Amino acid sequence: MSQTSDQMELIEGDIVKHYAMALAMLQGFDHAPRIGMAAVEAAVEKSSGIGTRRRFRSTTPGLVTRRTAASGSVQLMARIEGADAGDALISPLQATVMNAVRRALSIALAVAENYAEMSGLGDLKRANLEGSLASNRKAEFSELLAAEALISLYVFGNATSYLLSSHASEASVELGDVEEILTDNGQAALHGALWELDQDIAKHAQDDPRLVATVTGFAEALMEKVALRAQSAPRLEPFTNTKWRVEADDFAVAGFSPASKAKSTTLTMAFKKPNEVVGNHIAKYQAMKLSKMLMAYDFDRKLNPFAELGGFIFTFMGDGKPGTGKTTLIQMMAGMVHDYCATAGYPFRYQNLSTDNIDSYQGKSGQNAKAFINNVLDPSVIGFGTIDDIDQLAGKRGDRQSSAGQLEITAVLMESFAGANTVVRGNCTFGMFSNYPENVDDALRQRAGARFLVDGPQTREDYIDILYLLMGKNHDILTGAHDVFSAQEIKTAVAASFEGHARPHEEGLIKVFDEVSEQIGGFDTIAKLGTYLKGIQEADDRFTGRAIKNITDAVKVRAMDFELPDEWMEEPDLFLFKDYDTKKGMISELRQPITVDMVVQEINRYADSEFRYADKSDEVAIDNMVRDFGRNEEAKKRYLGGEG
């Protein structure tokens, strides 16, 4: 992550000076739990008889505290050492966890110290220590201490999760809710968190992989709980309005937002070349363009010129019958972006949200979806997120068959794709794919800014090409009178596909198109185009202002109806490594003028898809009602027959 002007460096010396206090916390302190219930005994030191563990006592300046319950011993280092079925030696991963927790505590203490000086809490602590704190400032003092506690907890959780993220494995544990959230002051809050972490390690960390899973799982649960509490807490503005950067760890503190490492994901999928995607000409062309658009992202400015100029596709939906090539399209696009990023040295992150992310535990499905979104949105990577079979994953509101987990995912996706806090930087894109888009919630489906109709091979040439491709090389059958893959030449095929949308395809839309055309003639002005849109809305009231926005976005994409030259991807110095303004100027020179034909074609393409979804949705609903009526009639017959 590069240094940016909106980040303030957290000086390494300010972190290191807290190492002694952080180490003392790990070695041992007393804590009387106030909210959580102790489930395990205190850790037993391995080096019995040798006084190596110092007991940590409260040293927060300016605070006078009183213990009201019997204390319990917390020795986190001893607990971590014991997470290996009795091995006498500390494993490398245990040492890594200890160092990460100490580092995270030190960062949290340093940020809390910065906050204290910025907010005036430091002065109030000194006055309280001297006994000169004015009575009219005690309420302010209490609120600032509570804010310091929330900040300390969140930064500790954030840094711990970040520092251990590269050591995570497939192991997982189910921790439940974090309970010991104390807001007396920063130090007491950290004591409570470490006490609960000690309990969780004792219960769940029987080996190294589960140790890491427990610590990172606890850190993420802590962050979530604290972030919710912070939504209604006062005096947090000095923290939320400032961004800190820890250069040595490439770690950024940006309010109550989680940090993530700028690392690529390892892809094991079989990539496909564009010529191996037969048919699907418009979808293939748009995916190829979008792959190159992503590469225009500027890591210093944290913005993509395409997002500023218009024409960037943030979300899209690919729909079609089973077996028409949706998975192949994903493999092609992921492969292209992966290769471009490898050439430029950019981190690339691909993630798929699948039905495995639906969880019966309340709130967990939403957490999984949010983690997926945040990982792809990370502004320090080029991201591609896919949601395959979204009709099964995201529930349709009002559908009694939708589970609570599915509805949680729907809510997260709707907020993330077009919510009040959605920021489109142009570093990532999300693709939703479905065989049955009519089963997707209407509002969620309309958040797809572009529509990719994945209809598979259509022409005689397409079917010959796909047979040739799938047959492979291990045969002696002659090809015959056919120029292999010439029909897949993208420019010619796309031009023909776009021209095919000069008139609508769906019966309901054809009727609207013809009626409006008879009334006003050709669609050659904005007023006439608007009249056509109103006619569509009268035929289908789901055709709202969001649909108009999606259409105009698609038109802007058509204005960018060019592919960035291949040599720009192959030789990064020609384009990718240019500064933001230079890249923006180079793109602007390639823009095409917007024509009436483009607008009509995009209206028809989008409206066709909505009419297609609506017709299918209505038919499914009617079929279900007919089936229910039939069952009711049969049940009545059996019931009456039984009475007789």
pLDDT, one tens digit per residue, over 304-316 is: 999 888 778 899 9
Query: How many domains are contained in the chain?
Result: 2
Domain shared by 141 and 110, yes or no: yes
Same domain, 244 and 284: no
pLDDT winner (highest mean) among 104-108, 391-395, 602-606, 637-641: 104-108
CA-wise closest residue to 468 among 601, 608, 457: 457
Same domain, 207 and 168: yes
**Confidence at residue 310, expressed as pLDDT on a 0 to 100 scale:** 79
Q: Residue 322 falls within a domain, yes or no? A: yes
Lowest mean pLDDT among 566-570, 572-576, 639-643: 639-643
> How far is Cα 435 from Cα 29, in angstroms, rounded to an integer?
58
Check residue 495 and give its pLDDT. 60
Nearest partner of 240 among 154, 140, 124, judged by Cα:
154
174 against 536, higher pLDDT: 536
Task: Note whether residue 611 is domain-resident.
Answer: yes
In a domain, 74, yes or no: no
Token pair, residue 223, equals 């962050």
Comparing 262-266, 440-444, 544-548, which segment has the lowest mean pLDDT? 262-266
Residues 446 and 352 in one domain: yes
Interatomic CA distance for residues 246 and 570, integer angstroms:
33
Other CB atoms within 10 Å distance of the CB of residue 614? 18
- Structural tokens at position 331: 């493999």
Band of the pLDDT at 476, cuts 50, 70, 90? confident
DSSP state of 350: E
Would residue 40 count as lying in a domain?
Answer: no
Task: State the pLDDT confidence band at 53, using cuts at 50, 70 and 90.
Answer: very low
User: Mean pLDDT over residues 500-524, rounded?
Assistant: 88
Name the residue range of residue 196's domain.
9-32+88-254
Q: Are residues 28 and 129 in the same domain?
A: yes
* Residue 638 or 46, more confident: 638
Query: Mean pLDDT throughout 175-190?
Result: 92
Which residue has better confidence, 235 or 418?
A: 235
Cα 338 to Cα 105, 122, 306, 350, 485: the distances in Å are: 36, 49, 20, 9, 24
Nearest to 617 by CA among 544, 542, 512, 514: 542
Residue with more model confidence, 620 or 129 = 129
468: Cα within 13 Å, side-chain hemisphere: 21
573 and 456 belong to one structural domain: yes
DSSP state of 235: S
CATH number of the domain bearing residue 424: 3.40.50.300
Residues 161 and 298 in one domain: no
For residue 172, give Cα distances in angstroms to 123, 169, 205, 606.
44, 8, 10, 43
Q: Say whether both 360 and 501 belong to one domain.
A: yes
Token pair for 186: 């920063």
The predicted structure's pLDDT at residue 275: 66
Please give the pLDDT value at position 23: 95
Highest mean pLDDT among 59-63, 359-363, 568-572: 568-572
pLDDT confidence of residue 160: 95
Q: Are 277 and 325 in contact (CB under 8 A)?
A: yes
Instruction: Flag whether 259 is in a domain.
Output: no
Average pLDDT over the chain reads: 83
496 and 424 within one domain: yes
Point out the least confidently predicted range of 200-214, 322-336, 417-431, 617-631.
617-631
Confidence of residue 54 (pLDDT cuts 50, 70, 90): very low
Give per-residue pLDDT as tens, 481-493: 887 776 666 655 5
Where is average pLDDT lowest: 66-75, 293-302, 442-451? 66-75
Residue at which a domain ends, from 254, 289, 319: 254
73 φ, ψ to 5°? -85, 135
**Residues 321-344: what's their mean pLDDT?**
87
pLDDT of residue 59: 46
What pairing do the DSSP bridges indicate for beta strands 315-319 and 251-254?
unpaired
**294: which residues sit within 8 A by CB, 6+ positions away?**
304, 337, 340, 382, 384, 426, 427, 428, 429
> Residue 32 and residue 492: Cα distance in Å, rounded?
74
Output the CA–CA distances (angstroms, integers) from residue 644 to 594, 633, 635, 641, in the order listed.
74, 17, 14, 5
pLDDT for residue 52 is more than 60: no
Asked if the structure places residue 381 within a domain, the reply is yes
Would the pLDDT of 437 be above 60?
yes
Domain end among 221, 254, 287 = 254
Q: What are the tens digits of pLDDT across the range 141-169?
A: 999 999 999 999 999 999 999 999 878 77
Instruction: Give the pLDDT confidence score for residue 14 in this predicted structure.
Output: 94
pLDDT at 409 over 60: yes
Least confident of 58-67, 86-95, 485-494, 592-601: 58-67
> Are 281 and 287 a contacting pair, CB within 8 Å?
no
Q: Contact 353/373 with Cβ under 8 angstroms?
A: no
The model's confidence at residue 239, banded by pLDDT at 50, 70 and 90, is very high
- Tokens at residue 586, please? 């180079």
Looking at residue 630, its pLDDT comes to: 82
Contact yes or no for 235/147 (Cβ under 8 A) = yes
Domain assignment of residue 350, yes or no: yes
In the predicted model, is pLDDT for residue 352 greater than 70? yes
Q: Are 315 and 240 in a shared domain?
A: no
240 part of a folded domain: yes
- 223 and 283 assigned to the same domain: no
Q: How many CB atoms lie within 10 A of CB 179?
A: 14
Nearest to 178 by CA among 200, 160, 161: 200
Radius of gyration of the chain (CA): 30
Q: Are residues 246 and 285 in the same domain?
A: no
Q: What is the reported pLDDT for 528?
A: 92
The Cα–Cα gap between 545 and 543 comes to 7
* Cα gap 537→531, rounded to integer Å: 10
Chain segment 59-70, per-residue pLDDT in tens: 444 444 433 334
pLDDT at residue 62, rounded to an integer: 47
∠ CA 240-244-247, nearest 5°, is: 160
